Amino acid sequence: MAESISQYGFTAVPRSLSKILAHTASNPPAKVDAADITPPSSELAKKVYAYAKEHLSEQTFNHSMRVFYYGSTIATHHLPKFLPSLETYYLTALLHDIGTTTHNLHSTLLSFEFQGGLLALNLLQSLGAPKEQAESVAEAIIRHQDLGESGMITSVGGLIQLATVFADNMGINPQLIDTATIESVTALFPRNKWSSCFAATIREEVGLKPWSHTTSIEGFAEGVEGNKLMEAYE
């Protein structure tokens, strides 16, 4: 059990991202060429990549890949204890927005993160992923917008928050990643006006489901549209 907790990213870390990053304040921004980052290449990883490529829009797929590149960079340079779960994080990054596809958003009354977590759990189990790994991905997807200062979250969940809400979506914590890293990642996976695209998705879900978990982030759509860190790469 203890080995699975570490291997699949169930290590408990503070839900407060400021606490996660407290010891990184003196670290320089991570400067990495995207060409030097190698995504996991297991058969499971390849199958999930193909699934995401088929089912996600180009904008959402590119976002998901950027989330992997930013998250793996943050883990390597600032949060090395997160590294044992890198493949699990890759699967999470690929699937974290699967609940936002037109079909998946409209086919359920569940908030998109919850729908996405359940879809990912079923998909990974059908592809032969270890039970603990599938559950780790599902947990992280369900909680990837569960921001707050109290309690704990898994290391994969914390990392996906850092790379999504606090980097690619809203541009918070710019000190973590050097602009040269952003330039190389966005060259490989262009944003193609991602900020306006995702802001529209947020408003669509809230319109469809005014109870959705997305409403817990006040001013979310406006914050995404106002992402100054990524504005030059739109």
Is the pLDDT at 187 greater than 80? The verdict is yes
Residue 182 burial (C-beta neighbours within 10 Å; 0-12, 13-18, 19+) = buried
Quick one: 222 exposed, middle or buried, by C-beta within 10 A (0-12, 13-18, 19+)? exposed
Confidence (pTM): 0.96
State the pLDDT confidence band at 188, using cuts at 50, 70 and 90. very high
Q: What is the DSSP letter of 189?
A: S
Q: Nearest to residue 165, comparing CAs of 143, 139, 137, 191?
A: 143
Q: Which of 185, 216, 182, 186 is nearest to 202 (CA)?
A: 216
pLDDT, one tens digit per residue, over 126-164 is 999 999 999 999 999 999 999 999 999 999 999 999 999
CA distances from 60 to 133, 169, 197, 232 (A): 23, 11, 9, 19
What domains lie within the chain, and their CATH numbers? 44-226 (1.10.3210)
Say which amino acid occupies 50.
A
The pLDDT tens digits for 7-38 are 899 999 999 988 999 888 889 999 999 999 99
pLDDT in tens, 62-79: 999 999 999 999 999 999
Reported as a single tens digit per residue, the pLDDT across 83-102 is 778 899 999 999 999 999 99
Positive or negative, the CA dihedral 127, 49, 216, 154 is positive
Residue 185: the pLDDT is 97
At residue 6, the pLDDT reads 81
